Amino acid sequence: MKIKSAEFVVSNTRVDKCPDSKLPEYAFIGRSNVGKSSLINMLTDRKTLAKTSAKPGKTQLINHFLINKNWHLVDLPGYGYAKVSKSTKRTFQKFITAYFDKRKQMICAFVLIDSRHEPQPIDMEFMQWLGEHQVPFCIIFTKADKLKPKMLEKNINHYQDKMLEIWEEMPEFFVSSATSKLGQDEILDYIEAINNE
Ligand code: GDP
């Protein structure tokens, strides 16, 4: 898919304020600092479409971007900040749960995982929750340029083994780098194929 246009639509803190639109949407979510903003900018060929928050974890916004006038890219808040309170964590959970429960136009969630790290309980629990709620999701292993190819392969294989302890098969996954643009074509083509179904 070629990106012809990418426009910011709205940021909001409430699921019921999300755009009243039937356009298909694809959500991007992951732990703070996983490289979500960089990935969104890389995918859309825009330097500053998604902005990194100066105060990570403080603002929990759902950002809608309209891509090629025919689908929404949704930037969901990062999770897993060490410093937030328990009540903030609970609010976050409710907020995300509400998003996935209510947005029937949400076609696929892309869960971002830093390819350098071991499987983290918070990511595994989140994906388990998605699975239990029948939310279709894929994985994107980010920052692939930070690892030597052999190490990258080793980490992904390790992740696969962990996932297979929970699921019968590995969800669809992509490998990305915001610096080399690795994964851009694959992820956009995947979205395009679903949109054309
Ligand atoms: P977010 O908090 O998930 O939105 O993460 P950001 O996109 O702000 O990225 C966090 C940090 O990781 C920043 O310093 C980015 O420059 C860096 N980063 C993000 N993606 C990549 C990548 O693919 N390769 C490299 N080398 N650095 C990355």
Instruction: Share the mean pLDDT of the chain.
Output: 91
- Looking from the CA of residue 31, the nearest atom of ligand 1 is 3
The CATH number of 6-195 is 3.40.50.300
Distance between CA 56 and CA 84 in Å, rounded? 10
* pLDDT surpassing 80 at residue 40: yes
Span 165-189, pLDDT tens digits: 888 889 999 999 999 999 999 999 9
- Asked if the interface predicted TM-score (ipTM) of this complex is over 0.95, the answer is yes
Span 51-98, pLDDT tens digits: 755 455 556 789 999 999 999 999 998 887 666 677 777 777 788 889
Q: Is the CB of 183 under 6 A from ligand 1?
A: no
**Phi and psi at residue 161, in whole multiples of 5°?**
-60, -45
CA of 100 to the centre of ligand 1 (A): 25
Amino acid at 118: E
Q: Is the CB of 35 under 6 A from ligand 1?
A: yes
Domain ranges of the chain: 6-195
* pLDDT surpassing 60 at residue 193: yes
- Its pTM stands at 0.94
Q: Is the CB of 80 under 6 A from ligand 1?
A: no
Span 16-34, pLDDT tens digits: 999 999 999 999 999 989 9
- Looking at residue 58, what is its pLDDT? 54
